[in-house]
Structure 1
Amino acid sequence: MAKDTHISKAIAIAFVVLTISAIAGLITMIILYKAQISAMNPTPPPTVPSTTTVLPPTMRLPRSVIPESYEVFLRFPFYTKILEVVNVTSPNQTTNFSGNTTIHFQCVQRTSTIYIHSMELEVSEAKVFNRNTDGEIQVSSMSSHEDHSEFLVIELNEALESGGNYSLSLVFVGELYHNFDGAYISSYTEGVPSHEGDKSADRNVFPCFDEPEMKAVFNVTIIHRRQTTALANAPVDKIQLIDDWKYTRFHSTPKMSTYLFAFAVSEFEATASSYEPVVIKTYARPEAVAAGHTKYAAEITGKILSFYENLFEIKYMQQKLDQIALPDLSPAAMENWGLITYQEGALLYEEGASSSLQKESIATIIAHELAHQWFGNLVTMKWWNQLFLKEGFATYISCFAVDHVEPSFNMKDSFFASELQAAFEVDSLTSSHPLVPPEEDIQRTYDIISLYDIITYSKVELNMVHFITYCSMYLRDLSYANGDQNDLWHYMQKGADANNRQVDVAKFMDSWTKQIGYPVITINTTSGEISQKHFLFNDSSQSRFVQKGPLPKEVLSSRSVVLLSETLSINGDWLLANVNCTGYYRVNYNPENWEALLTQLETNRSLIPLMNRMQLIDDAFNLARAKIVNVTLALNVTRFLYNETDFHPWDSAMRNFQYIYLMFDRTEVYGPMQVRFLKTFLPCDIQNNNLKKYYRNSAVKLSLSADVLTEPGEESVHVLQMFGLWMKDNTNIIHPNLRHWIYCEAVASGGKEEWDFAWSQYQSTNDTSEKYHLRHALSCTKKIWLLNRYLGYTLDPEKIQQVDAAEIVSSISKSVAGQVLAWNFIRAHWDYLSHGGPAVLIHAVTSRFSTQFELQELERFAADYHLGSAERVVQQAIEQTRVNIQWVSEHKDVLLQWFERETAS
């Protein structure tokens, strides 16, 4: 049953990973049990038969009963040490698990039916007791509805009375799976990772009221091998040793939602942090801890926790905070209360080997997960359609936390460049979704998973920091409860009133959260007119978008503030709106003002704030994509970059040039466009580090895709020399900040020998940063047969962890030849690949689609395949492809002329 876990003379640690409620964020458990406890196994009554004949009336749990607490006992006869004499064929080794749970609840509406979530569990017993009378209430039937609602429906012989206190006891059996559809086993050996993964829901491990509003207290007992350590949301209460087993009971958790439930058992070790009175420990593989890879995370966690405590004026609510790095996990991290789980690459940092980008990423992810301890854990959204209340705020607030502990990272500027601009792009399609969709539209598991996208995480306004005090009131007043956006607007209204802002917050914010998209504000400095409309890449004449209420309105020029309802008068050469990009909208100007702004950028760019230098590039290119301005205007905006020394405007330009490159790299525009990219993005020597951090990493990422560096030259030779030295004597002198692109260029310029060397290094290293760079480099080869070999490897979990398969296929799709291979491969293996990030796959492989034939193939794919949570992203890809077809047809000749003129000078 579990042949991949048999490792001769090796040690494996098994991870059982449980996802949140019915969503994309994973809650990870590392659990290994055996043993039966007689006290937990009384003589069973006759088994209640299950049936699937009666359909429940709703996809949501009725509110007739409300849980108060759970007693959860789980038994997993699974070995942590896999020895020659104990393999998967042994009767002592099994992937089955069993357990029982007792749920104490209150009846608030008279009923004779109990609805509870259960998925892929064999529930063999059900008992209901009246806690007021100590009497048992007989169960008349029990039916399972996994295909429809994932409900277990328990019918009783007599009704539960409103106001009564009751208990429901259930006995169950389940299985640890080897894919991403349930509790999963993951194992690793020294030096050779292997992966089996699965994601599902709490309901896959024990029956529960698995909705965020159904908060309760959890009391957990874990039975595990004597040599292992158990972790859970709460601190350990008691440990009992019986033979080869530990019986670990934990203290009661705070009142919390089921999706935050987590536990773990492993032989991991920890680095402790000092932050009184909270005990902070960062767990990882023993060799990673010994090498100091947990040190950075341990150092900054307490500092970030302290920052949030001071910002919100609310202390962290638990006595301890454990963090654990797992070899395979999707997504990058999960905020389980008291036990936060991370991918290894999201938590482990190796000094001298990990890049600056990796360090920044780790700090950002930790800050995001710690923000959830308040936004999400302490106060939780009532239903998943309000997901932005935790994800959006955590994304935004984490920027300030990272800047507090690492000021040099300048995360607020990075947020606009990486997050907000990406949200703008998706929100420019009619197939986008409101930040808060109607509750009735979010019912099934894949509906919930589909909300975990760039809109939910990053559609924010950057001036929200003024309302932090009132957000703290929201957190205090709703502690251990649930809220929705109306609750938050109530407190933000208090902030607006206190600051004499004449705005109806609920009215204004509802127009932002309940409809798709955003406006483009057009300012004519000649006539003084100001207007707005819904911004869309395609024709917006049918748009139902209506923005009501005042938008942010600070303007940089001889005047500081204008109101959108007023006409405009200025006494300067130019005007700049949305100063520092505090508003979620784009700005267009009359041609004269655009020309004046471009002149200012070229003569003295310092008068234009950094955020707006990014914004002007991004607005101009996207206004051109929407055919609101001429594409040559957007291209001309980038001319000031020759003198730009900050990374972020370059990053904005590269992101936008990427779209033009993808649209025309298969046409005659490609030649002069390639030369222009070389002239623009590679102006300095390879060792020059004038531009911030990883500028060259990002610059070459675009230029490599255009085959720029494969031309013979000093820089390309230098790259190959460094890589060749590594191949020759195993000495890697390449700086960590440059490895991502140097590895890629070396593999792209080389052949089988370079590819095989990179693959051998990937197999032998345990460093997560190095693995990431090498995974990417292997996709850079221009040898079709090697790309096909690499694609085949993604289907073998002994070679490539399933959690990394989508990333690899996406990387391969970046080249023209690779895109064709990847698109065919995705369709041939959709069932397997869709478990590891279908949205990423679809976005990557269709980003170049711009022909009628590709549109027809994509439409056929949407019709023929079960898309699940990828349905929305496929519809977005179809819409974007239609836009691309028209845009390429209308702009090809203009762009060819512009690139030829620029390269001739």
Structure 2
Amino acid sequence: MGKGFFISKTVGILGIIAGVGALATIIALSVVYSQEKGKNNNQNEEQTTSKPPTTTPIPSNKPWDKYRLPKNLVPETYNVTLWPRLTPDPTTGLYTFLGSSVVDFECVEDTDLILIHSNKLNYTEFENQLARLMSVSSVEAPAIKSSWLQGVTQYLVLELDGTLKKGHKYRLYTEFIGELADDLGGFYRSEYMEDGEKRVMATTQMQPTDARKSFPCFDEPAMKAYFFITLIHDRGTTALSNGKDIETTEINHDGQDLLKTVFERTEKMSTYLLAFIVSDYDSIGNSIDGVEIRIFARRSAIAAGQGQYALNKTGPILKFFEQYYNATYPLPKSDQIAIPDFNAGAMENWGLITYRETALLYDEAFSSNSNKEKIATIIAHELAHMWFGNLVTLRWWNDLWLNEGFASYVEYLGANNAEPEWNVTDLIVLGDIHRVFAIDALASSHPLSSKEEDIQTPAQISELFDAISYSKGASVLRMLSDFLTEDVFQLGLRSYLSAFSFGNAVYTDLWYHLQKAADSSKLELPDTLDNIMNTWVLQMGFPVVTINTGTGSVSQQHFLLDPEAVVTTPSPFNYQWIIPIKWMMTGNMQNPLWLTSKSAMKATQDQWVLANVNMVGYYRVNYDDDNWAKLLDVLQSNHQVRQRMIVNVAQILDDAFNLARAKIISTVQALNTTKYLSNERDYIPWKAALNNLDFFYLMFDRSEVYGPMQDYLVKKVSPLFEYYKQMTDNSSKVPDGHMDQYNQVNAISLACRTGLEECQNLVMTWFQEWMDTDTNRIHPNLRSTVYCNAIAAGGKKEWDFAWSQFIKNDSTAIESDKLRYALSCTKQPWLLNRYLEYTLDPDMIRKQDATATIVDIASNVVGQSLAWDFVRARWSYIFSQYGGGSFSFSNLVNGVTKRFSTEFELQQVRYFFEMTLPQCGFPFVHFVILLLNWFGSHGPP
């Protein structure tokens, strides 16, 4: 039953926020705001308020100087009304939103203090205080003695002239104004062009700690509550929130025609999952088993059918997860919306999922096979969260890895169910395991789970959103599911979700329910699940398992890319793991074994051993020289066996190259694994090889070794190029198979990169035809690599043409993304410098794409030094816009330095960041330590 906003008779004074009267109250705030002229677009400035925020340094013993909320108040319901202004204030030029909030909470421990999160909000005053407090129980509420904003810890602080009593309920009312900035956090604005006109929308990104930028709230994941949301908005716009809209009514204020949309009460949920959006978007929809599914996007995108693929796949994926969790989707609707300016890939707001446009919108004329897969997997990732993360939420951010790692694992299951012919489940090896190995093999890595007391500040929380949480979390959970078996894993998972529905948990709660499932299934394990998994969760890194087939010994050690690195992070297990090993002998599966310290795995003289079958374990494998030789012989000569173990072929390549970088085996031995590539036609091994050869390009494309390396690789790729040329009728079409489509891109990309003349002529012909006819016949799968190679081989004419296509394309985000990347491929330094300057102008390169564009330029050997100089010269601006522990900023710093491999370059980096560290926060200090450790593993092999 839909419920609207209500206020009890005893506090009828607050009823103004339910109707037009709210406008009269909150619009007055805009006058104050204009007078104070707060410039919140500078992220380092303090908020401007009716009372200045306290900036006393932390720590102190005062509750308001601690980052965690006290446990004495528990929110129950919020009633929030917001009015985003989609035109700028004529005086300040700022976009703002006006709001009022009522929060009902219970006192569970006597207190004379209320702390509630607030950041960058300006409050109206009531009798010289920033809020009103009243009782909704039998006792009278004490008066507010003093109130102020604590800027550093982001609180609205209310000292009371009396005590809130345990067991009684109270109500807090506030009115406020905030800036609807373009900072991609909290309640913010996104701008885009459509039909030649600039459009403005209001949207949100609350995770992890930005709900407090939208309204005062108890902004911690364990502080779940029910939310009544009301949005006031311009006519001609649509308002969305987590709940279904109950009604939209017309209202008028001072001659201004407006709409007011009231939404159903949400389920009990955390603040970081809230969303509210006002736009003039269009939508398409359908329903499945009573659940309404809608896709929202720019009107031109909907008209072009770009939301249809997402709509077609959302229902089946939703039903898959209902079966997987054995739990009905708990909401009446599932809205998904594409946002032009969005810093993350997507966000799992309960009932209103937000996406980058490239992560939701598919257009067959512009989108590649890879784009389609990305959409399917991201939708699956976010829908997985509807239960794991939203229905059951981790108590605190130190367990973020379980939330994001789980969704990053099961996204492959959901996408595989939606597109069973793609066989995407194997791609976790390339997309997550190999990716995170490179980070987790550093001495500066960190464990999956942190101590709760070590994660306090918003910056520390943001730092957790990294590849360790997502990709290592996914890899470890995949290993857990495998050794438990999927049936047992699902049984425990379902029990866990049932036990903690609409509540909060810690990661050990999941272990408890999985252990119960294992016990009931009579599954034999070498130790308790808690003890097994603690070795993977509570210590950083991973092991390399070494197998000597001559002696039969099996041992383990902590794998580090730099064997001389000093590991200062203590381990409760002395860097030993309890390791499940699936293995085969001469192609035949053997009984799995557990490596708890040392074990045995005997082979005869004529047999070869392969461990970590299907790479389900989160570890690398090394062998004695004789077994390595036998495995290489299998790669070279036994096509049938190779075909049966494609994932393990990729594992052999990746393990060999990384063991060589760690000086465990020779570089020659690693390079020997590539000899067979002229016979390889499968995508996964080729992609693993190319990912590792990229390291050689980074190290050698400025050296005399580059020429011989190119000569070698062109011989390896030429047969693959010819294979796809024949398959595709002289490259006039694309292959039918999903993986073949990927590998055709590999063939063309590497063939052109290594200078194969036929490939370069092909891409230049295609690109020139586009320039001459203004008709683009290049298949979407091939556009990124064709654009890049044609622009690299061309000059100003090709670059300017691509830029003109980028500028005029305001309807298809994925095509813009391909062009934006390709523009970084030019070999003309002056064009690259011009392009770098464009990244500072959001009218030319969107904020969400700025750091990625700089990294793309740095990936070009000509642009690397230009990007490094640019970042240093523009450091103050770049750090203020993108610092603070985000994915984009850490990727930026890594991207502009990833070619560095000399002592001189190390000293450059060290000097620069030593000079800039004083202005940076803790997460960036941590990242620079990681970066300097990274250098230890990046000398020439």
TM-score, normalised by the number of residues in structure 2: 0.86
Partners of 2:140 and 2:100 lie apart in 1 by 20
Partners of 2:936 and 2:92 lie apart in 1 by 58
Partners of 1:100 and 1:731 lie apart in 2 by 53
- For residue 131 of structure 1, what is the aligned residue in structure 2? 136
Q: Aligned pair 1:600/2:651, yes or no?
A: no
> Residue 875 of structure 1: CA displacement?
2.3
- For residue 59 of structure 1, what is the aligned residue in structure 2? 67
Task: Classify 1:73/1:610 alpha carbon distance in 2 versus 1 (closer, same or farther; 3 Å).
Answer: same
Q: Aligned pair 1:481/2:486, yes or no?
A: no
Task: Classify 1:500/1:756 alpha carbon distance in 2 versus 1 (closer, same or farther; 3 Å).
Answer: same
> Residue 547 of structure 1: CA displacement?
5.1
Percent same amino acid among aligned pairs? Answer: 41
- For residue 188 of structure 2, what is the aligned residue in structure 1? 184
- Aligned pairs for 1:2-17 within 5 A: none
Q: 2:617 aligns with which of 583, 599, 603?
A: 583
Q: Report the AA paired with residue 818 of structure 2.
A: H
Partners of 1:831 and 1:71 lie apart in 2 by 40
Task: Classify 1:774/1:42 alpha carbon distance in 2 versus 1 (closer, same or farther; 3 Å).
Answer: closer
Task: Classify 1:670/1:193 alpha carbon distance in 2 versus 1 (closer, same or farther; 3 Å).
Answer: farther
Task: Classify 1:160/1:588 alpha carbon distance in 2 versus 1 (closer, same or farther; 3 Å).
Answer: same
Q: More displaced, 459-468 or 740-749?
A: 459-468
Whether the aligned pair in 2 keeps the contact of 1:50 and 1:142 (CA below 8 Å) is no
Q: 1:748 aligns with which of 784, 789, 792?
A: 792
Q: More displaced, 35-44 or 626-635?
A: 35-44
Whether the aligned pair in 1 keeps the contact of 2:248 and 2:259 (CA below 8 Å) is yes
Task: Classify 1:380/1:633 alpha carbon distance in 2 versus 1 (closer, same or farther; 3 Å).
Answer: same
Q: 2:754 aligns with which of 700, 708, 727?
A: 708
Partners of 2:53 and 2:376 lie apart in 1 by 50
> Residue 330 of structure 1: CA displacement?
1.1
SS class of match (1:283): strand
Structure 1: segments with no counterpart, 5+ residues: 1-32, 80-87, 892-905
Partners of 1:255 and 1:94 lie apart in 2 by 34
Q: 2:456 aligns with which of 418, 438, 443?
A: 443
Q: Deviations over 1:340-395 (max 9, x none)?
A: 01111111101132110100111011111111101111111111110012110001
Partners of 2:93 and 2:236 lie apart in 1 by 17
Q: Deviations over 1:476-522 (max 9, x none)?
A: 11011111111011011123322422231111111211111001111
- For residue 303 of structure 2, what is the aligned residue in structure 1? 290
- Aligned pairs for 1:808-819 within 5 A: 808-819=853-864
Higher relative contact order, structure no. (Cα contacts within 8 Å, ≥ 6 residues apart): 1
Partners of 2:773 and 2:353 lie apart in 1 by 40
Whether the aligned pair in 2 keeps the contact of 1:192 and 1:764 (CA below 8 Å) is no
> Residue 872 of structure 1: CA displacement?
3.4
- For residue 660 of structure 1, what is the aligned residue in structure 2? 696
Partners of 2:540 and 2:639 lie apart in 1 by 34
Q: Aligned pair 1:173/2:177, yes or no?
A: yes
Q: Aligned pair 1:69/2:115, yes or no?
A: no
Q: Report the AA paired with residue 62 of structure 1.
A: P
Partners of 1:220 and 1:541 lie apart in 2 by 53
SS class of match (2:834): helix
Q: 2:911 aligns with which of 860, 869, 880?
A: 860
Whether the aligned pair in 2 keeps the contact of 1:194 and 1:800 (CA below 8 Å) is no
Task: Classify 1:296/1:695 alpha carbon distance in 2 versus 1 (closer, same or farther; 3 Å).
Answer: same
- For residue 3 of structure 1, what is the aligned residue in structure 2? none
Q: Aligned pair 1:511/2:535, yes or no?
A: yes
- For residue 275 of structure 2, what is the aligned residue in structure 1? 262
> Residue 605 of structure 1: CA displacement?
4.1
Q: Deviations over 1:223-256 (max 9, x none)?
A: 1112211110000122221131111111100111
Partners of 1:143 and 1:261 lie apart in 2 by 26
Partners of 2:854 and 2:682 lie apart in 1 by 32
Q: Report the AA paired with residue 635 of structure 1.
A: L
Whether the aligned pair in 2 keeps the contact of 1:269 and 1:286 (CA below 8 Å) is yes
- For residue 529 of structure 1, what is the aligned residue in structure 2? 553
Q: More displaced, 596-605 or 419-428?
A: 596-605
Q: Deviations over 1:557-613 (max 9, x none)?
A: 164334434322224510111111111111111111111111111111432512111
Whether the aligned pair in 2 keeps the contact of 1:273 and 1:299 (CA below 8 Å) is no
- For residue 566 of structure 1, what is the aligned residue in structure 2? 599
Whether the aligned pair in 2 keeps the contact of 1:375 and 1:390 (CA below 8 Å) is yes
> Residue 112 of structure 1: CA displacement?
0.5
Whether the aligned pair in 1 keeps the contact of 2:145 and 2:160 (CA below 8 Å) is yes
> Residue 325 of structure 1: CA displacement?
0.8
- Aligned pairs for 1:96-495 within 5 A: 96-124=96-124, 125-133=130-138, 135-147=140-152, 149-180=153-184, 183-190=187-194, 201-243=210-252, 244-459=257-472, 460-461=475-476, 462-465=478-481, 466=486, 467-495=489-517
TM-score, normalised by the number of residues in structure 1: 0.89
Task: Classify 1:287/1:417 alpha carbon distance in 2 versus 1 (closer, same or farther; 3 Å).
Answer: same
> Residue 116 of structure 1: CA displacement?
1.1
Partners of 2:53 and 2:377 lie apart in 1 by 48
> Residue 716 of structure 1: CA displacement?
1.3
Partners of 1:783 and 1:198 lie apart in 2 by 40
> Residue 862 of structure 1: CA displacement?
2.5
Task: Classify 1:819/1:35 alpha carbon distance in 2 versus 1 (closer, same or farther; 3 Å).
Answer: farther
How many residues are treated as equivalent by the alignment?
841
- For residue 929 of structure 2, what is the aligned residue in structure 1? 875
Q: Report the AA paired with residue 221 of structure 1.
A: T
Q: Report the AA paired with residue 926 of structure 2.
A: R
> Residue 472 of structure 1: CA displacement?
1.4
Partners of 2:510 and 2:564 lie apart in 1 by 31
Q: Report the AA paired with residue 693 of structure 2.
A: F
> Residue 423 of structure 1: CA displacement?
0.8
> Residue 548 of structure 1: CA displacement?
5.3
SS class of match (1:775): helix
Task: Classify 1:797/1:191 alpha carbon distance in 2 versus 1 (closer, same or farther; 3 Å).
Answer: farther
- For residue 628 of structure 1, what is the aligned residue in structure 2? 664
Partners of 1:173 and 1:655 lie apart in 2 by 49
SS class of match (2:341): coil
Whether the aligned pair in 1 keeps the contact of 2:787 and 2:822 (CA below 8 Å) is yes
Whether the aligned pair in 1 keeps the contact of 2:121 and 2:178 (CA below 8 Å) is yes
Q: Report the AA paired with residue 708 of structure 1.
A: T
Whether the aligned pair in 2 keeps the contact of 1:51 and 1:143 (CA below 8 Å) is yes
- For residue 24 of structure 1, what is the aligned residue in structure 2? none
Q: Aligned pair 1:555/2:568, yes or no?
A: no
Q: Deviations over 1:128-172 (max 9, x none)?
A: 21211263420011122212x112221101111111111111221
Partners of 1:692 and 1:234 lie apart in 2 by 43
Q: Aligned pair 1:820/2:876, yes or no?
A: no
Q: Report the AA paired with residue 634 of structure 1.
A: A
Q: Report the AA paired with residue 404 of structure 1.
A: N
Whether the aligned pair in 2 keeps the contact of 1:507 and 1:549 (CA below 8 Å) is no
- For residue 21 of structure 1, what is the aligned residue in structure 2? none
> Residue 35 of structure 1: CA displacement?
6.8
Partners of 2:560 and 2:378 lie apart in 1 by 31
Partners of 2:21 and 2:878 lie apart in 1 by 38
Whether the aligned pair in 2 keeps the contact of 1:722 and 1:733 (CA below 8 Å) is yes
Q: Report the AA paired with residue 699 of structure 2.
A: M
Q: Report the AA paired with residue 703 of structure 2.
A: T
Task: Classify 1:788/1:49 alpha carbon distance in 2 versus 1 (closer, same or farther; 3 Å).
Answer: closer
Partners of 1:78 and 1:550 lie apart in 2 by 57
Structure 2: segments with no counterpart, 5+ residues: 1-17, 33-48, 57-61, 125-129, 883-887
> Residue 71 of structure 1: CA displacement?
0.7
Q: Report the AA paired with residue 173 of structure 2.
A: S
Q: Aligned pair 1:770/2:815, yes or no?
A: yes
Q: Report the AA paired with residue 450 of structure 1.
A: E
Q: Report the AA paired with residue 775 of structure 2.
A: T
Partners of 2:341 and 2:471 lie apart in 1 by 25
